[in-house]
Amino acid sequence: MFDWVPFEKHEGSWKDKDVMLLALSTCAFCKRGMEYLNNKDIEYRYVYVDTLSPEQKKQLSSEFKEKFGQRGLYPTLIVDNSDYQLGFIEKAWSRALGLDS
């Protein structure tokens, strides 16, 4: 999924799951979500959707809707290409990543 997207990679020591983040470069909630991942030292790939071309945005939106059955919001955390969280809610992200204890 999203093999064509020009993701940037954030290195981290926690690599238990494949983690992708769809974000906007100007979004405060997106920045908080990235800060959460960084503080947990999680390795993840991210893309600022607002920097993509209109065609790429449309394709990304279409693929997301086809896979998950709804429209994406930002930030969107995708875990192992099967689970996703819309918006940054720390407890939900921890649960999706398997970090809640």
**In this model, does residue 100 exceed pLDDT 80?**
no
Query: Can you give the pLDDT at residue 72?
Result: 85
- What the block records as the tokens of 43 is 């390795």
Contacts of 8 (CB under 8 A, 6+ apart): 45, 46, 47
CATH superfamily of 19-97: Glutaredoxin (3.40.30.10)
Q: What is the mean pLDDT of residues 7-14?
A: 97
Residue 1: the pLDDT is 78
User: pLDDT for 20-75, tens place per residue?
Assistant: 999 999 999 999 999 999 999 999 999 999 999 999 999 999 999 999 999 889 99
Q: Which amino acid is at 59?
A: Q
pLDDT computed for residue 84 by the predictor: 95
Q: How far is CA 8 from the centre of its chain?
A: 11
Name the residue ranges covered by the structural domains of the chain. Answer: 19-97
Predicted pLDDT at 101:
55
pTM confidence score:
0.93
Give the model's pLDDT for residue 58.
95
How far is the C-alpha of 82 from the C-alpha of 46, rounded, in Å? 16
Nearest CA to 99 among 39, 46, 28, 45?
Answer: 39
For residue 2, pLDDT over 80 is answered with yes
